[in-house]
Amino acid sequence: MPSAADNPFSLAHYWAQGDALSHALVALLLAMSLLSWCFILAKSLNAWRGRAAAPALLAFWSAPNMADAIALLRQADPERLYLALALQGDAHSKKLDRASVGGAVGKAEQLTRVLRGEITATTHRIERGLTLLASIGATAPFVGLLGTVWGIYHALAGVSAAGAMAINKVVGPVGEALVMTGFGLVVAIPAVLAYNGFNRINRMTLAQLDGFAYDLHVYFCRSGSSNSSSSS
């Protein structure tokens, strides 16, 4: 029985007959695959925890006061997607800025600036790393294609050296070329699918953040107005 290394269609044979460039391309694709899967798993956990915190917004507005609402959200939102907005809005509503350029505008405008800045920071945080997935999904097929071209070059070089069409000189390099093409697609497809999935989840999360920020803005502006009226 021939061993796996003697089989021209085995991966061991492709690796044995490959050169330094072929090995480097395989190592690059393997690194890209590991990197994308580590990011996909970590990002999936973060996205799941963020989506699990969304129903707590209903309980947030059912709390008797803002302190209890923030305490409830602190437990339900470990990713601090919504909690950061509530904390920033509550802190700024209690300490109105009057001693800076930004303090020249009214309380409503200051709250808008603070909440908008927090949404921007949260957006950057939840979208961090998506460029990596997009880059892997876009470049992995071309890396595999480079391996394909290099394998076909080996096949042609083997035929030229043999001086005649010899199937054993062609099968190995052509098989290497096909394996590299498939490997590039295997790396790229999960990255592209994950990128599209995370983009959809992020759009839903950002829409809820915008709505929550609007509700907080209304609450803090009206609570400040009512406190001013009662004090006067």
**For residue 65, pLDDT beyond 50:** yes
Half-sphere exposure of 151 (CA within 13 A, CB side): 27
Indicate whether 226 pLDDT > 60. no
Task: Please tell me the distance from the alpha carbon of residue 40 to that of residue 37, in angstroms, as a whole number.
Answer: 5
93 confidence band (pLDDT: 50, 70, 90): confident
pLDDT score, position 147: 84
Rounded to two decimals, the pTM is 0.78
pLDDT band at 203 (very low <50, low <70, confident <90, very high): very high
- The sign one gets for the Cα dihedral 43, 45, 47, 53 is negative
pLDDT at 2 over 60: no
